[in-house]
Structure 1
Amino acid sequence: MATDTPSVLIVEDEPDLANLYAAWLGDTCDLETAYDGETALDAIDETVDIVLLDRRMPGLSGDTILETIRDRELDCRVAMVTAVEPDFDIIEMGFDDYLVKPVSKAELRRIVDQLTLRSSYDAQLQEFFALASKKALLDAQKTDAELKSSQEYAQLRDRLAVLRVQVNDTMEELLEQDGYRQLCQDIARDSILQESN
């Protein structure tokens, strides 16, 4: 991110809801709003830091827009903000976080703050937090039996375990530098959540 003020694109097909999100974030972000997938794809470029993306929209779905963002290799964080309840298909999706509607002003601001911070992390840490978010989401939405029977979930846990070791090594290096207190708190919080599951 080039500045302290993140550039946020809100992609939401309900104009009233998109405008509400914009009002909630307007004093902390540079905002652009797209009410459909085609407009969103035209607006997404290397200047966009964060995309708040609805999954279910007429025309181009949020899933298709997300794939296009990743195919273009744009370095932006994406949070799905949707009424679609998460299922195991989210494991392979390239988003960074997932909020189920309805969302509050505090939740939306929190996610933008977190994604802004994550943008300063390297690719390894970004992947770690994206996968940890997916695991936490599935843990909250699925039964133990569903989790145990999912091969995708088992692979997710395995990948997280490998990344956790790598992240712990990276964290030791970062502890020697200034400005990484929030990073350490995020990793410590995730480790606690992982151990409790």
Structure 2
Amino acid sequence: MSKAEAKRCPWSGSDALYIAYHDEEWGVPKSDARALFEKLVLEGFQAGLSWITILRKREAFRAAFDNFDAQAMARYGPRKVASLLKDEGIVRHRGKIEAAISNARAFLELESGPGFSQFLWSFVDGTPKQNAYKKMADLPAETPESKALAKALKSHGFRFTGPTTMHAFMQGVGMVNDHLTGCFRHEECAKLGARFSL
């Protein structure tokens, strides 16, 4: 079966960028701290918007935020914030921009302790959780794990990381495999999950 004929999760739609994201990224377990931090920040910017909006702006976000180098972002001051608020390539929302900067500082604190990846993955016991949903209507907006993660992140000073946002994050980075059982990526991501280790 070719990729053109493959059955996908309905949310991937017909946009080529969205399909590529579904086929190559969504649900693939990630352990790289910088990649996880980038996804966390982008999910925060997505709040109230569609993910395809963020996906289309992702390269502009990377350019604007020093490729999500937390050390660089943690040093951003008022002048950089003013510059970001004028950047038409990204989502110009002061609260989200300021949250991204404070989240970089919180990220660095966790990295100097248990490690950001280890901290995140501890909420699924270090192993991707394999779900078996058949319909989009079955997918929850949040889970006990995403609620626990959101609460823990808040306690460490993170913002724009509520339970629904964190569930989307966990799905995106493969902490949970929420591809529908009829989607060709469900089995592929399950195999990646079985081989995953921190």
Q: If the length of structure 2 is used for normalisation, what is the TM-score?
A: 0.26
Q: If the length of structure 1 is used for normalisation, what is the TM-score?
A: 0.26
Q: Which has the higher strand share?
A: 1
